[in-house]
Amino acid sequence: MIAERSGTSNREPCCGARRGAGEMQSVRQGNSEVWNFRKHLRMVGSRRIKAQTFADRRGKSFSRSWSDPTPVKPDSLHDPRDSGDLQSSCGTLDEGVCDDTLDWEEERELERVACEGDDFIPPKIMLISSKVPKAEYIPNIIRRDDPSVIPILYDHEHATFDDILEEIEKKLTTYRRGCKIWKMLIFCQGGPGHLYLLKNKVATFAKVEKEEDMSQFWRRLSRFMSKVNPDPNLIHIMGCYVLGNPNGEKLFQKLKNLMRPYSVTFESPLELSAQGKEMIEMYFDFRLFRLWKTRQHSKLFDYDDLV
């Protein structure tokens, strides 16, 4: 009986069985690759709730992770201009942002030297809000054949503008020190005339002009845009149709003004249009994007399909 079982197990499988086994192995390998990719992409600004006493938190306040809440001085509660968020907007990053020791041409030359070489591909930053349904799967559907697509998934509820800017700086430095953004995709919720960037931070023409922290975000973001790009640097808006009313065009014009003297243009094409398809193919595997889109609002989302 043992011999018979052994003989049966050693029989050569038919072609169909071999092909099926090969396909299953390929799927498992694909799943492993995708899972490893997701595992290493942390969500920017996410907060892990831990049971800490006040003394523990106070003791660790000066050695905290950058994603921990920023302590606020008691006397600053009386003056909104001294709030932690506004202070952070003029914090460590602004030390470099406000440094005018290098003029435009010198900075441009530094960028040009940093990006020399035939192997250099200008980076394309992809900023993804966790508010987008099934946002956690988006990094799995980007173009695998284009290493210049750099996804950044951020926590809509807890991330700050500082968190986002710091992560952009880290990603650019990792990609190639000294390089800047040529193309950028902001994938977030919104609608005609507005962008829902962060919790309680809706970018409209009026609010961008009135709220200092929001206007500072766009000014500081401009410092990451390229000076050597012969064309205007491009920022795509996806996940909402901002140009659905005249206020959308006003918003884009206001953002362009805030980002001067850097040359930046904004586009928010409809996904079903020819321009929208071109935008999608610039950042995503089009087949996987369509699959993700059809199941974006489904509760029966099958992760294995995104391979």
Ordered by start, the domain boundaries in the chain are 64-305
- Determine the Cα–Cα distance for residues 162 and 88; give it in Å rounded to an integer: 7
Q: Strand 149-154 vs strand 183-187: parallel, antiparallel, or unpaired?
A: unpaired
Asked if residues 275 and 269 have their Cβ atoms less than 8 Å apart, the reply is yes
Tokens of 190: 């919104």
What pTM does this model have? 0.70
Closest CA to 91 of 257, 211, 223, 220: 220
- In this model, does residue 79 exceed pLDDT 60? no
Averaged pLDDT for residues 170-187: 96
Q: What mean pLDDT is reported for the chain?
A: 77
| pLDDT score recorded for residue 298 | 75
Beta bridge partners of 167: none
Strands (E), 130-263: 149-154, 183-187, 189-191, 194-198, 201-203, 233-238
Asked if residues 149 and 142 have their Cβ atoms less than 8 Å apart, the reply is yes
Q: At what angle do helices 212-222 and 246-258 cross, to 10 degrees?
A: 60
Confidence of residue 235 (pLDDT cuts 50, 70, 90): very high
Contacts of 20 (CB under 8 A, 6+ apart): none
Percent of the chain residues past pLDDT 70, beyond the cut: 65
| pLDDT score recorded for residue 304 | 59
Closest CA to 266 of 300, 232, 290, 295: 232
- In this model, does residue 283 exceed pLDDT 50? yes
Lowest mean pLDDT among 34-38, 92-96, 124-128, 165-169: 34-38
- Residue indicated by tokens 């089009």: 286
